[in-house]
Amino acid sequence: MTDTIKSLAALLAEGKTSSVELCRDYLARIERLNPALNAFVTVDAEKTLREAAAADARRAAGQAGVLTGVPIAHKDIFCAEGWLTTCGSKMLSNFVSPYDAHVIEQFKAAGMPCLGKTNMDEFAMGSSNETSYYGPVRNPWDTDRVPGGSSGGSAAAVAGRLAPAATGTDTGGSIRQPAALTGITGLKPTYGVVSRYGMIAFASSLDQGGPMATTAEDCALLLNVMAGFDPRDSTSLERGKEDYTRDLERPLAGLKIGLPREFFGAGLTGDTARAVEEAINQLKKLGAQTVEVGLPNSKLSVAAYYVLAPAEASSNLSRFDGVRYGYRTPEYKDLNEMYEKTRAEGFGSEVKRRIMIGAYVLSHGYYDAYYLQAQKLRRLIAQDFVEAFKQCDVILGPTAPTTAFKLGEKTADPVEMYLSDIYTIAVNLAGLPGMSLPCGFDAQGLPIGLQLIGDYFAEARMLNVAHQYQLASDWHTRAPTL
């Protein structure tokens, strides 16, 4: 039985349970299962229950909102006042945030207690959750396998029902790919819809926070809380509040689904290809039509991404210097040694690799050949989508080329790991909304993800397609046995 946040909200509204009771149940499940999954970096039952009690009091006072009292877990990339906020790094292993991210403020205002901070790839750099200073997260469907990354802790927590929902962030696929690998639903909004204030930056022009839950409908409810203009983020878009649930019940008759030929070529394993094909058939039965579209430049997206994201990261991570907060090496002779040892000891190897790549592509003499060239590619990739959306309402394809792989399977070959995001990265480069939802299982019983890509600000339409599909399928209700 899957408890959606919608169903939990109904129970709370009917007075059949309390937030404290719900939180106790989830905390107990976390206590029991987290040692095996390692989905959480920080759990603080006392704090959670205090927030839950406050939510119950608010409900008693007749001031409850739709989701008041429903608990949620937050990716450890979001600064939360009084919570250890590590970003999966030794560098911030002692950092207790003195302030709340905009996203955290929004969930607090909605009265949703925090169940804890979830594990993640270090500074969101990774596709398997193996780069975390706090150890790898394990996939609830097979604990020898990875949950994907970088929002692997959030994905595993929701998939294992340790939390009914969680926040994630997506720079190149970090919400969608782990959602796919753990059989849950996750959404990356249009760039600028969710404020980045208080979300520790990896690649500023690509990072976007979003919801992870078991259903599209839950994602819509959560996005209603998360989204909104924030004057503290200059890239936050000044748009009116919208209700992302408004189109959920819209019939799919007349829907035009674009199928990029580049997503259905070689490299897609049999089971994934088959599951995606079946999902297309299901949507057709619901009245949708398909049209083939081309995204000719998307094959360059991984290359462009691994220039731009490291470039921004190399600069974003400069503030972690041991001077004001975070880890500082215990012994040093002078300033330079303090910097060198602090950063050598505080960062893991994948983070260092990307800082090196980023510093290199921004260097004098290389900037034009790498950074500027990648920016041009980025515009071409975005232009492909603009053309494609002239022919269709949403674009559909696989989320990831494979299902969950084994721990250690790809760590030796960074490029192999980077290709895990081959279908998701173009969406970030274009700034478009995208989501992943479960569409079946492979022969080994591992979940397969279906990716939907919407036009700018077409989250509601995308959620509509996903919700209608979920009304006609039950993949999203399946939970691993733990």
Partner 1 sequence: MQWETVIGLEVHSQLSTKTKIFSGASTAFGAEPNSQACQVDLALPGVLPVLNKGAVERAIKFGLAIGAKLNRTNIFDRKNYFYPDLPKGYQISQFTLPIVEAGELTVQVEGDKPGDKAVEKTVRITRAHLEEDAGKSLHEDFHGMTGIDLNRAGTPLLEIVSEPDMRSAREAVAYAKALHTLVTWIGICDGNMQEGSFRVDANVSVRPLGQAEYGTRREIKNLNSFKFLEQAINYEVRWQIEQIEDGHRVEQATVLFDPDTGETRMMRSKEDAHDYRYFPDPDLLPVKLEEDWIEQVRATLPELPQQKQARYQADLGLSAYDASALTASRAMADYFEAVVAGLVKQDAKLAANWIMGDLSATLNREGVDIAASRIPAGQLAALLARIQDATLSGKLAKQVFEALWAGEGEVDAIIEARGLKQVSDSGALSAIIDEVLAANAKSVEEFRSGKEKAFNALVGQVMKASKGKANPAQVNELLKKKLGAG
- Known catalytic residue: 150? yes
- Known catalytic residue: 256? no
- Is there binding between residue 359 and partner 1 (CB under 8 A)? yes
Among 16, 324, 331, 443, binds partner 1 (CB under 8 A): 324
- Is there binding between residue 364 and partner 1 (CB under 8 A)? yes
Q: Check: CB of residue 184 under 8 Å from CB of residue 155.
A: yes
- Is there binding between residue 344 and partner 1 (CB under 8 A)? no
**Closer to partner 1 by Cβ: residue 363 or 391:** 363
**Closer to partner 1 by Cβ: residue 431 or 480:** 431
**Closer to partner 1 by Cβ: residue 231 or 296:** 231
**Nearest partner of 415 among 357, 343, 347, 374, judged by Cα:** 357
- Is there binding between residue 321 and partner 1 (CB under 8 A)? yes
Among 88, 186, 198, 398, binds partner 1 (CB under 8 A): 198
- Is there binding between residue 436 and partner 1 (CB under 8 A)? no
- What is the C-alpha to C-alpha distance for residues 472 and 125, in angstroms, rounded to an integer? 35
Helix, strand or coil, per DSSP, at residue 126: coil
Phi, psi of 206 (to 5 degrees): -120, -25
* Cα–Cα separations (whole angstroms), residue 64 to 13, 24, 104, 128, 258: 9, 20, 18, 38, 41
In b/e form, how buried is each residue of 410-436, taking b as 16+ CB within 10 angstroms?
A: bbeebeebbbbbbbbbbbbbbbbbbbb
- Known catalytic residue: 174? yes
Among 281, 318, 349, 444, binds partner 1 (CB under 8 A): 318
Q: In the beta sheet, which residues pair with residue 453?
A: 395, 434
- Is there binding between residue 234 and partner 1 (CB under 8 A)? yes
In b/e form, how buried is each residue of 175-197, taking b as 16+ CB within 10 angstroms?
A: bbbbbbbbbbbbbbbbbbbbbbb
**Nearest partner of 449 among 204, 62, 141, 169, judged by Cα:** 141
Catalytic residue among 174, 298, 314, 473: 174
Among 42, 48, 68, 85, binds partner 1 (CB under 8 A): 85
Q: In the beta sheet, which residues pair with residue 259?
A: 292
- Is there binding between residue 189 and partner 1 (CB under 8 A)? no
- Is there binding between residue 444 and partner 1 (CB under 8 A)? no
- Is there binding between residue 229 and partner 1 (CB under 8 A)? no
- Is there binding between residue 92 and partner 1 (CB under 8 A)? yes
Instruction: Tell me the helices (H) and strands (E) count for the chain, helix number first.
Output: 15, 11
DSSP class of 422: T
- Is there binding between residue 99 and partner 1 (CB under 8 A)? yes
**Closer to partner 1 by Cβ: residue 18 or 316:** 316
Which residues in the 276-315 window bind partner 1 by CB under 8 A?
311-312, 314-315
Q: Check: CB of residue 200 under 8 Å from CB of residue 223.
A: no
Helix or strand holding residue 396 (H, E): strand 394-398
Instruction: Give the binding range for partner 1 (CB under 8 A) out of 31-39, 177-185, 202-210, 467-475.
Output: 202-210
- Is there binding between residue 369 and partner 1 (CB under 8 A)? no
Using CB under 8 A as the binding criterion, the count of chain residues that bind partner 1 stands at 44
Binding interface with partner 1 (CB under 8 A): 78-79, 85, 87, 92, 95, 97-99, 101, 196-201, 203-205, 231-235, 311-312, 314-315, 317-321, 323-325, 335, 339, 359, 362-364, 367, 371
Tell me which residues are annotated as active site.
75, 150, 174
